[in-house]
Amino acid sequence: MSPREGGDTFYGWANINIDTATDGGTVTITEWAYNNTPNGSILVGQTEDEEVATTPEPSSSLALLAFGAAGVYRWRKNRKSKTVQEKQAA
C-alpha cells in the first residue's frame, strides 16, 4: 500500500484476513505499518524503525566471486605472458 500526500508517497504493508464463510464475508486488518518518512522504504512485517541490512543475496555474492576469479585468472595469465616475453627478449 502506498498512500500519497502532496507529491510524496508513504509506503506500508498490511496483514489482512478474509473470511468468506459468512454471508457477505468479512475483511479484517490484523497488522499494519507504514513509514512516515516521505518516499522511505519499509519491509513487509517491519514494525519498528530499524536499519535495513545491505547484505547482498547469495546469488549476488556468487556472481561477484565468479567475476573476481575471472579477473585473477586474467591477471595471472597476463603476468605469465609478460614473464615469458621478457625471458625471450633477454
Q: What is the pLDDT along the chain (90 residues), one digit of tens a residue?
A: 666 778 888 889 999 999 888 788 889 999 989 888 888 888 888 877 766 555 556 667 777 778 788 888 888 887 777 777 777 776
What pLDDT sits at residue 90?
66
| Contact (Cβ atoms closer than 8 angstroms) between residue 52 and residue 29 | no
CA distance linking residue 46 with residue 11, whole number of Å: 12
Q: Is 35 in contact with 10 (CB distance < 8 Å)?
A: yes
Full-model pTM: 0.45
SS3 of residue 45 by DSSP: coil
